Structure formats: C-alpha cells, structure tokens
Structure 1
Amino acid sequence: MYKLIALDMDGTLFNSDKQITDRTKETLAQARALGVKIVLASGRPLAGLQPPLKELDLIHEGEYVLSFNGALIVDAKTGEAVSKCILKGSDYKKLFKLAQELGVHCQAFSPSRGLITNETSQYTEHEASINQIDINIINPLTDIADEEDIIKVMFIDPPEILDEAIAKLPAWIKEDFNVFKSAPFFLEITHKDVDKGAGLLHLADYLNIKQSETMACGDQGNDYTMIKAAGLGVAMENGIDKVKAIADYVTDTNDNDGVAKAIEKFVLNK
C-alpha cells in the first residue's frame, strides 16, 4: 500500500490549461480517504502553492509540501520548515557573475526578500505571475550580504539562448551545486544536496513511511531524482525521455488525466 504520493505540478498535476481536472481531484480525495498523504513537490515557493493546496483541501495539520524542489520542506498549514537546505549570498554573487559572463538573465529567491533580480525579463515576470509574488530589483554584488540566506538561483532566457549557455557551463558549477532544468527556459541551481528525490525520502523518513510505500509522478528534469527515489516512480507520457527511461511506469499525459489513472491503478486498484 502506498502511503505517500508526491506530485509535480506543471506538466503533471496541471493540464495544459493549468487546471486540475475533476477526475484528478476526485481520485486524490479517494486516496486521502484511505489515509494516503498527498504531497505537492514543486520548484515554486509556498506562496505559489497556495491556490492548488486550497483547491485540493490540503491546508491542514499534518500536511506537507516540498517547495523549491525540496530545498524547503514545510508544513502546509503553518509554513514552518521541517527541513531547510539552502545557499548563501556569496553563492548568489558567484553565480550572478557567471550568468553575466554567459550572457543570460539571473534571478534568485530569498526567504526575506522573495523573488530578486538585477533586471526583470519576461520569464521573471512569468515566475512572479504564477507564484503571485512581487519582483524586487537589487544589485546582487552590493545589496546582498555574503551570509544572507538564498534558497535558489535561476538562469532564465529563451531556450536557444539558455541551451547555448548551458553548453558553456564550467565544471565547477556542477561540482559545487545541483543544476537542472525545470522548464525549457529555466535552469535551476540549488544546494548540491537538494533535489526532489532527497526531499521525498527525507519527508518519508520524518513521517515514518518506508521508501517502498512512496509513489511519485513527474515529467521534467527536476523530477528525475524523485521518480528514481520513489518506491513507484511514475512518468507522464508527455515527460522528457530521460525521465520516462527510469520510471517504473509511464502513465497517460497531463491532458488525459495521467495522474488520476496512475493512482486509480496502483492505489485505488480500479
């Protein structure tokens, strides 16, 4: 019996219209009625997760969220951190300088300042919009203290520009940080010990749930570790090939109730 289901959002829980279908909501409610923990696992901050948490009635005591790809594991009701693994201002400055050398935009998330960047772009505005948060314009080199907490850094630009920059990344960045694409236009950079897989296992251990009792669904590169770590890793049919290759099961697309079908098959035994 699976006791914890971790769900990516964009491309997985959400369809292409950014909606959670009635079938998926009903399936998740049936799983919860059996005592299964439903955990949203996203690169978004907690503020950006509030609408789907409310829609799925998951803002209660004993409900948890993997936010910022597992950098922060928080209580869905109180926002209190169960686990925190983040960067520092000195990391942001180092990565900002690299972004300038590579010719790509750079932004970051701060626990105290929210979404921060030296200059906005369409993708910064997209991130602010989907998470319903403000953009704060700062100079990372002068306005950020070396010891200030930074949750994650992102290189952002159109795919053709971003991919060209990724091809030029120096070796040290992958030695010092965890680097992955969460969307064609987002390259995320976190603490080297942070990923959704590590977050899933940490939360399961915290809840005294065995790894074999966990299930995870996702579609993109930042879901790879979570799908690999889960007792049952489920990839969406619309997912990237790398994720589908290591999944235990490939379900239908996000536009055809893939999450609901996987839960019906493996949890509800329909």
Structure 2
Amino acid sequence: MIKAIFFDIDGTLVSFQTHKIPENTFDTLKQLQKKGIKLFIATGRGKDGLDVLKDFPFDGYITLNGQYCYTKEKIIYENTIQSQDLKALLDYLEQKPFPCGFTEEHTKYFNLRDERVDEIHRITHNDDHPAGDCSQVVHQKIYQCMCFVNENEEKEILKVMPHCISARWHPLFCDISPLGGTKQHGIDEFLKYYHINLEETMAFGDGGNDIPMLKHVAISIAMGNANDEVKTVADYVTDDVEHDGITKALKHFQLL
C-alpha cells in the first residue's frame, strides 16, 4: 500500500508549455490526500521558486535537490556547501567566467547573466534573479550553485570542489550541491519523520536529477516527456502532465 508520493516540479507537476500545474492535476492531488496518502515535493527549486504550487498543502518539501527539506512547521534537514569549495569556485570563475547562480534559503543571485540563463528562465519562469558581486558567498549559507557549463566543464569544476556533487536536467547547466544531500536522502528523512516504510513509496520525475529518487522508491514513474535514461530506470512510463500523465499513472496502479 502506497502511503507517500514524491513529485518533481518542472516537467512533472508543472507543464513546460504553460508553466503551471493543470487544474485537473490539483484535483488528483486532493483525491490522494483524502485517501490519507502523504504528498511531497522533490525539486531542484528553492523556497523562492514554489509559488507555482499555489499554496497547495503538501506534507513536506525536498528542495534544492535535497539540500533543504522542511514542513510548514519545521526544517527537517539542511546541508550547505563548504566555504573552501565556494572559495575555489570563485577562483575558478575569475579564470574561466560563466554564469553561476548561488542559492540561499530564500533567494538566488548570479555573478553574471547571459542568453543561457535567459533561456532557462523562459522554461522555468524561476530564474530572473539579479547579477552582481558574489564575493560574499563564502560567508553565507549556500545550499546549491547553478553552473551554466557543459558536461566537460562540469567535471573540471567538481575537481576544485571535492566536497560536492552535481546533477543535471538540462544540457545548458548543472546544479552543484554538497555531498550528503540528494532527493533520495530527503526521502529517507521524511520517511523517518512520518514513520513510513520505503516499501510504501512512489515517485514521479522527468529529469536526470530525478534518477536517484526513482531508483530509490518502491514504485517509480517517468513522465512521457522524460529522456530515455530516466524512462529506463522507471517502473512505469506515463503521459506528460499536459495529457494528464500523473492521473493516468495513479489509475494504472489503482490508487484512484
């Protein structure tokens, strides 16, 4: 019996076409809660990017790919990048500049912006943050860095940030996060908090950063718009959110 379901946001709950959660998806979420199933967000977005949820009362939020997990009442888990890794990244940016977003608890800011940042904002409607001097980040609680680099550059950055890992759902950028925090770890924190077994879990996702989560839960669903790698690890592939993919999957597994 499924007691907890974890949802990615972009490309899963939120349509890349309308940048909204369809009303019928909200109706489906309400039906699940009436059945007593706990619902969780598991996203790369930070707290400042959750307006798209329209204040729907989820039972918990795994944000920043697992670095900041909380309920409406309390923080369940948080994990920040070590200052020495942030200093190394700043030094790297001086030698090889590229757009980089630094995420704090309630906001994000960039060292610089270019067409790559604007392109991602057109997709997410969540990356219109300002650019400027970021030297102060070594003294701040930074949960995640959004680095607009290709995969080869990503590997070079990780060499100078040895206490970090990366995740990518778009070819234009990767998220650099501290070791220890992942969507998978966030799931475990909430299962412990709510006394739910891993065998009672389900998750929906579409991006590369969802793969550890999809491999971890009991039942994993890839959205129809997911890439082949995500679809391969999932137990079931549904339609995209514009075509009621979440509801169709839940009916397939007889949860509705």
Does TM, scored on the shorter chain, surpass 0.5?
Answer: yes
- After superposition, residues 39-118 of structure 1 pair within 5 angstroms as 39-54=40-55, 57-58=56-57, 63-75=59-71, 77-78=72-73, 80-111=74-105, 114-118=107-111
1:167-186 Cα offsets, whole Å, 9 max, x none, are x5266368531111132322
Structure 2 SS opposite 1:12: coil
Distance 2:103 2:158 in 1: 24
Structure 2 regions of 5+ residues with no counterpart?
none
Q: Distance in 1 between matches of 2:129 and 2:103?
A: 11
* 2:132 aligned to which of 126, 129, 137: 137
Matched with 1:178 is 165
Preserved CA contact (<8 Å) 1:24 1:259: yes
1:165 deviates by: 2.4
Which amino acid is the alignment partner of residue 66 of structure 2?
A: G
What SS class does the counterpart of residue 226 from structure 2 fall into?
coil
- 1:142-157 counterparts in 2 under 5 A? 143-145=136-138, 147-156=139-148
Per-residue deviation at 1:216? 0.5
State the shift of 1:133 in Å: 7.1
**Residues 1:165 and 2:150 are matched in the alignment:** no
TM-score (norm 1): 0.83
Cα pair distance change 1:144/1:8, threshold 3 Å: closer
Query: Residues 257 and 96 from structure 1, CA distance in 2 versus in 1: closer, same or farther, beyond 3 angstroms?
Result: farther
What 5-or-longer segments of structure 1 have no aligned partner? Answer: none
Equivalent positions of 1:2-21 (< 5 A) are: 2-15=2-15, 16-21=17-22
- Secondary structure of 2:18's aligned partner: coil
Distance 1:30 1:86 in 2: 36
Structure 2 CA distance for aligned equivalents of residues 109 and 91 of structure 1: 14
CA deviation map 1:19-59 (0-9, x unaligned): 222322221111110011111111111121133142xx316
Identical aligned residues as a percent: 27
TM-score of the two chains, using structure 2 as the length reference: 0.87
Per the alignment, do residues 173 and 220 of structure 1 end up closer, same or farther by CA in structure 2, a change over 3 Å counting? farther
CA RMSD, 1 decimal? 2.6
Instruction: Give the conservation status (yes or no) of the 8 Å contact 1:201–1:229.
Output: no
